[in-house]
Amino acid sequence: MNYNFDRLIDRKGSGSIKYDKMSFFFGRDDLQPLWVADMDFATPDFILDAIKKRLEHPVLGYTMRQEGFFESYMRWARKRYRWKVSRQWLDFSPGVVGGLALSVLSMTGEGDKIIIQPPVYHPFFDVVKGNARQLIENPLQRDAEGNYRMDFDHMRSIIDPQTKMIIIANPHNPVGRVWRRDELEELAEIAVKHNLIILSDDIHADFIYKPNQYTPLASIDEAVAQQTVTVTSPSKTFNIAGLSTSIVVIPNENLRQKYRNKIKDMHLFLGNIFGNIAFETAYKKGEAWLEELLKYLQTNIDFVTGYLAEHIPEIKPVKPEGTFLMWLDFSGLNLPHDKVKDILINQAKLALNDGKSFGQNGENYFRLNIATPQSNLKTALEKMLVFNEF
Ligand SMILES: Cc1ncc(COP(=O)(O)O)c(C=O)c1O
């Protein structure tokens, strides 16, 4: 390994939400934080160096994105996802959730129905309800083997003429599914038939564990590309989420124009100097670093899985196919959800995301962020041994 992912970095006092906002969310701040989806690893040197170099120039005035910004993503998509993205499909977004909200606002109308599939990343609820659209839920189902599936029959049954959009996460946060090509094809068929826009949040697309393969929905065929808006960023991959710089991919000219008008009207297109530099540098120089990171994360997943199976078998992780998040099923403990939460916070002193915050079917689940040095995970799992007393 050329990079050191074992290094423990004290993030307290750095303005980190994960470390410095715990008392607000958990009622105390003496917890080990394993919640917010950023990583405890250092942002890679090649990105920090590019930012430092820019700081050698003393003026931080208005900035613009160079063509290299967009080209870096086009190359990355082609090389890593085998997806040929055209330059004219691309636009900027100040963060991925911002891109989702701008798409909802610009491409649907008030009162329109938008489908989401809980348990799912909680801001999906906000970008729909907060913008006065109707939220329609198509909960994911766990099959007999414990794998999460989209419920296509239910999806078909809830679509009506007011339904205009479906928002997916690929890979899916929090359950860690990487949607297979055949699943995306079925989804695409429904969307094309009913003229639904699919808003695909692919922020976790670089975190894929073998043998799973990420398929960009819009790469399936031209018809689905015309109805797909993909929002993504290197922000999770390279731990630069604090720079709020993302990209939208909109092959459909009409939808793209709507997006552009909205981002212009709201004056949100400027971006920031460091976000632009970090984005471009990440995609240009980041492959070797990412490959090592993925190996490290896989060992963390194996470590958590093995530890729980051996020491607390009542807590069952759902095997992640992608993301650096593990969806832990506590139902084997036969304790009420709120009791588990209380033990996690007040006895184990751990801050995990509450499964219920991801909506329907989140009861008895908590989400563990494994993008941290393995010694941290070991400490956290040892604290969880307290569950053996119940
Ligand atoms: C699925 C998903 N989308 C978006 C985000 C956040 O994106 P941003 O910070 O760029 O708005 C997260 C962060 O956890 C996420 O998991």
What percentage of the chain exceeds 90 in pLDDT? 99
Give the pLDDT score at 294. 98
184 and 87 share one domain: yes
**Distance from Cα 169 to the centre of ligand 1, integer Å:** 10
CATH code, 210:
3.40.640.10
Give the pLDDT score at 174. 98
- By the 8 A CB rule, do 102 and 93 touch? yes
Q: b/e string for 169-179 if b means 16 or more Cβ within 10 A?
A: bbbbbbbbbbb
CA dihedral of residues 198, 202, 203, 206 (deg, nearest 10): 180
| Residue 120 alpha carbon, nearest atom of ligand 1 | 1
Residue at which a domain ends, from 233, 264, 284: 284
Ligand 1 pocket test, pick from 35, 121, 167, 246 with the greatest ligand atom count within 8 Å of Cβ, gives: 121
126 and 221 share one domain: yes
Residue 377 confidence (pLDDT) above 80:
yes
Ligand 1 pocket test, pick from 16, 17, 93, 96 with the greatest ligand atom count within 8 Å of Cβ, gives: 96
Pairing mode, strands 350-351 and 32-33: parallel
Give the pLDDT score at 201. 98
| Residue 323 alpha carbon, nearest atom of ligand 1 | 16
Whether 276 is in a domain gets the answer yes
107 and 171 share one domain: yes
75 and 216 share one domain: yes
Whether 227 is in a domain gets the answer yes
Integer Cα distance of 142 and 144 in angstroms: 7
223 and 293 share one domain: no
pLDDT band for position 10 (cuts 50, 70, 90):
very high
351 and 269 share one domain: no
Residues 6+ apart with CB under 8 A from 253: none
Whether 11 is in a domain gets the answer no
Start-to-end C-alpha separation, the chain: 41
Strand order in the sheet with 316-318: 316-318, 325-329, 365-369, 353-354
293 and 278 share one domain: no
91 and 217 share one domain: yes
Give the pLDDT score at 2. 86
Whether 5 is in a domain gets the answer no
Integer Cα distance of 97 and 33 in angstroms: 23
Across the range 147-169, mean pLDDT stands at 98
Query: What does the block give as tokens for 148?
Result: 């999460």
Ligand 1: residue whose CA is nearest its atom 7: 96
Across the range 191-204, mean pLDDT stands at 98
Across the range 244-270, mean pLDDT stands at 97
Ligand 1: residue whose CA is nearest its atom 13: 37
- By the 8 A CB rule, do 232 and 202 touch? yes
Nearest to 250 by CA among 227, 222, 270: 227
Whether 229 is in a domain gets the answer yes
**Distance from Cα 177 to the centre of ligand 1, integer Å:** 16
Residue 1 confidence (pLDDT) above 90:
no
Rounded to the nearest 10 degrees, the angle between the axes of helix 287-311 and helix 374-384 is 20
Provide the domain count of the chain.
2
Whether 310 is in a domain gets the answer yes
Whether 106 is in a domain gets the answer yes
Q: In which domain, by residue range, is 210 found?
A: 61-284
Across the range 310-317, mean pLDDT stands at 98
Across the range 14-36, mean pLDDT stands at 97
**Distance from Cα 264 to the centre of ligand 1, integer Å:** 22
312 and 188 share one domain: no
Integer Cα distance of 248 and 231 in angstroms: 4
Residue at which a domain ends, from 255, 284, 313: 284
**Distance from Cα 97 to the centre of ligand 1, integer Å:** 6
Give the pLDDT score at 275. 98
**Distance from Cα 312 to the centre of ligand 1, integer Å:** 30
36 and 72 share one domain: no
Residue 324 confidence (pLDDT) above 80:
yes
Give the pLDDT score at 124. 98
67 and 80 share one domain: yes
Across the range 89-112, mean pLDDT stands at 98
Residue at which a domain ends, from 253, 284, 315: 284
Ligand 1 pocket, residues with Cβ under 6 angstroms = 37, 95-98, 121, 169, 173, 201, 203, 233, 235, 241, 246
CATH code, 40:
3.90.1150.10
Ligand 1: residue whose CA is nearest its atom 16: 173
Whether 9 is in a domain gets the answer no
Give the pLDDT score at 234. 98
| Residue 36 alpha carbon, nearest atom of ligand 1 | 14
Mean confidence (pLDDT) of the chain: 97
**Distance from Cα 78 to the centre of ligand 1, integer Å:** 23
120 and 207 share one domain: yes
| Residue 233 alpha carbon, nearest atom of ligand 1 | 10
